[in-house]
Every structure is written in C-alpha cells, then in structure tokens.
Amino acid sequence: LFKASSHSSQPSIFNPQFLTASWIALATALLFISHPLQTQAVTYIVQRFASLAALFYLLAVVCYLKWRLDSSEDRSRYLWYAGALLSTILAMKTKENSFTLPLMLLLIEFVFFRPIRGKEWASLIPFLLTLPLIPLSYPGAIDAAEAGLAQETTEISRGDYLFTQFRVIVTYIRLLFLPINQNLDYDHPIYHSLFASPVFFSFLFLLFLFGLSLYLLSYSRRFSPNSQTLNFQLIAFGLLWFFLTLSVESSIIPIRDVIFEHRLYLPSAGFFLACIIGIQGALEILKTRFHYHLFFAFIIVISLSFATYQRNGIWKDEVTLWQDVVQKAPNKARGRNNLGLAYKNMGRLEEAIQEYQTALQLKPDYADAHYNIGNAYRDQGRLEEAIREYQIAFERQPNFAKAHNNLGVVYSNQGRLEEAIQEYQAAIRLQPDYAEVYNNLGIAYSDQGHLEKAIRAYQTALQLQPDYAEAHNNLGVIYGNQGQTEEAVREFQMALQLQPDHVKAHYNLGLAYESKGMLQAARSEFEQAL
C-alpha cells in the first residue's frame, strides 16, 4: 500500500517519504507490543486463546494482501491465498471473535481495492463459507430458545448488555490512551437504559468516531490518490478494524463478564494504526523534522514499556494479583473469594476465611464462597461448620458436584460412610465424568469391606483419568490386601511413574516387595518414602 520515494538516489533515514511504510509499521508494532493493556492477553495463561486467535487473524490478513497485491501470473501466488484461507480456519477454531475475519477481508476490499469486481467476489466466497465454523465449533454457546443466537448468560438481557458495552468501549479507549487503574476483574455496573447519562454520552462519542471513519473514507474518494487521501483511508480503516473486531464481544451477545482487557488484544492493532497515522499527519502539518518523530515515538514506547513492566509485577503471584483486584474493586465478591483462595493455597487459613466472609457479606448467595469457606473449616478441623457451608453451597447451586464430593469426604472422615456414599453418588449423578468422586467412593467402599465395589470404583476413576496416581495407589492397596501382589506392584509402580514423590505409593511398594522377599528393593522404597 506504500511506495518509497525515488526522487533521491541516496535516500536518508530521516526522509519521511522514504520511510513512510516502514515507520508506520514499526511504530504501530511497537505500540502494540509495549502497551500495558496487552499484559492480560499474554500473562493470563487461559487467554493464550486471545493471542493465538490474533496471530492467525493477522496472518490471514497479511497472506490475503500478499496474494491480492501480487499482479503476476505466477501460480505460486496462490500459496498466499491458501495460507490466508488456512489461517482463517485456524483462527475460527481458536476463538469466537474470529467470526469477523471474512468480513474484515470484505472491508479491506471495500476500502483499498474498490470497486469489487466479480473475480474479487468469487475469491471471497471460500472465506465467507467459513462463517458457520464458529457455531459448529462451539455448540454450547447456542441458545436454542432464542433462535440460535449465541448467549453465554441469561442473567443480562441483550439490550442491557448493549447499553453497558457503549460505556465499556469508551473505557477501553481511555485505557488505550491512558492505561492507569488496570484491573483483572472490574466492578462494572450494568446499565438498563440508553438514556442513562454515562451510556448516552458514550453512545454519542462512539457514534462520532464511527461517523468520522466513514467521513474520512468518503472524503478520500473525492480526490485523486495521494499521501493525504491514503492517510485518511488508513485512519478510517484502523477505526473500523477496532469496531469490527470488538463487535462479537461488545454488542448484543451477553457475556457474563461485561469487560475484560484481553478483549482489546486484536482490536488494538487497528486502533494503534489509526493513532500512528494521525500523529504522523499532525507532526507533518507542524513541519517537524523526522528525528523529532523518532524521539517522540521513543519516549512513548519507553513509557509504555515501563508501565508494562510494572503491571506484570502485579501478576507475579496469586496474592499480589487478587490484592490489586480487591484494592480497585473492594465491593466485588469474586475478587474477595479469589483472594481467599490465594491465601488458602499459602496456608494462611484465617486470612482466607476473612476474605470468604467478606465475599458472603457482599453476595450472600455466592455458592463458591460457601464451598471455599467449607474447605477452610475442614482444614481447620471444624467439621460441623464445614458440613453446614457445603450444604448451603449446593442449596444455592443445586448442580454443585464438588460440594457434594467434599461433603462426602467430611462424612467419611467422621465414619459416616453411608452418608458419604450418598453424597458421592449425588456428585456422580451431577457430573458422571468426575474421576475424583469415583476414587473417594472406592475409599468408602473399601472402608466398608466391599472390596469388589471399591475395585470397580477405582477402575472407573482410571478410565476417566488414566494419569490419576492416587487411584492407582488405592487400587494397588486393594490388590495387596487380596494377595494379588503382582497386580499391586504394577499399580504402585504406575502411581510412582505418574507422581515420583507419592510417599504412600513408595511405602506400599516397599511392603509389596517385602512380602515377596525382595528386602533390598523394599528398603530402597522405604528410604524413598522417608
């Protein structure tokens, strides 16, 4: 889309005409990689989906442009077309926001290659045919009651979600310009009317930006192509990229969490492009020298990089991350609950219980918090209080299989084996593929002396989760008690292969070796256990 100047036989690095394409590409890329808002998409492991989808999305666009701009008759150019189509499929199989990719290619044709002729329309058809991949790949996201429209939650209506997103998108734009008070878990209000003042003024602002992009696009078509009209096209394209790539997650498809920073990973690429073109144009109007452009960019990138370094420091462990969330959103129950989990994982049970209690004050029907405080009480030996919390948890959330399982563990510890078995069976009815429950059920049957039932329970656990070291060890114990020493040794060895530091498996394998007269091997296993 850019041509280097050919007026000088020895172009200077400080010649803006010579470096227009390279400068815009480099500056946009540096903004993209150094901006602290990208931290969540990179550091938050689950959001590798967002970054991987962005990779395939951008690769599809690059390959399509390489194919589109190659006017040769060489058939090898169609490798770029095939690469674009393959990248489109991979993007759609990675994350739902890639649904917009065929529409993005259509936008590219409309903005840069207009008019679209029959041949170009034909080349877009295979990309448009990939659109059903999203609903076919994510059938769980389809709400049949609403004519097949995707909907992650029914707690927020489509209208309320759309009104809220007007405000959310403005927050996104503010964060792109001024990345302060970033948060993993925002406590964002849900709006129920377009005429709520924050929503209405946000709507007007977004309407202005969208209208500006259309105006710049229209204005650029009135004149013969030159650097100014191309700049207007690129600003318009960057803004439209931003709106289009956000449209899946910020429109009428309700998602339980109305705002997340990682959703900006892909949209920010177009936004940064528009910003760089705008800054470039402003500096040229001011007739500043090109090395001032470089100095200005250097200051911005260094500042953003420092902010990114600081933001990553928040993510160094669970406690610092959730303390940051609680500090910025003190009235949101989920942050309190997750900070409690972080404290529990560090063995700080009293602090964990305080956070769970605060979460329940903020949201009394919060089943997860009842479940987690039950776990903390169990670890403290306060079994009756733990039982009460587990019961409240599955009263609040009837399909809470984990609460039934852990209640069964407490009953088992109290010797109430029949009640424990009932809870395990309730958990299995709710979640038939829950391997841990079958393992616990096997322990209860074993304690009752029902060894065959115990063996079947352990075997089911291992069918569901073949790498379950604890189930292998427990099955080995049953075989050992039945005199099936070879089978017992095999199970203990398998447990240790999966988990070399499994103390009980080392001890049990030592007992098995001792029973076979292999005293040196037994001694070795006992020493490992110690």
pLDDT of residue 326: 97
4 pLDDT band (50/70/90 cuts)?
very low
pTM, two decimals, is 0.86
Between 380 and 138, name the one with better pLDDT: 380
Burial readout 65-85 (b: 16 or more C-beta within 10 A, e: otherwise)? bebbeeeeeeeeeeebbebbb
Tell which residue, 181, 176, 203, 178, has the closest CA to residue 268. Answer: 176
Asked if residue 252 lies in contact with residue 158, where contact means CB atoms within 8 angstroms, the answer is yes
115 pLDDT band (50/70/90 cuts)?
confident
**323-341 pLDDT tens trace:** 999 999 999 999 999 999 9
Between 457 and 147, name the one with better pLDDT: 457
Report whether pLDDT(185) > 80. Answer: yes
Minimum mean pLDDT range among 21-30, 160-169, 354-363, 431-440:
21-30
**483-494 pLDDT tens trace:** 999 999 999 999
Between CA 252 and CA 179 the distance in angstroms is 26
Q: Is 484 left (phi over 0), alpha (psi -120 to 50) or beta?
A: beta
Mean pLDDT computed over 165-170:
98
pLDDT of residue 292: 72
440 pLDDT band (50/70/90 cuts)?
very high
Report whether pLDDT(9) > 70. Answer: no
Distances (CA, A) of 361 to 205, 331, 356: 38, 10, 9
Mean pLDDT computed over 76-86:
94
pLDDT of residue 290: 66
pLDDT of residue 56: 98
pLDDT of residue 439: 97
Distances (CA, A) of 472 to 499, 504, 505: 11, 11, 9
Between 256 and 154, name the one with better pLDDT: 256
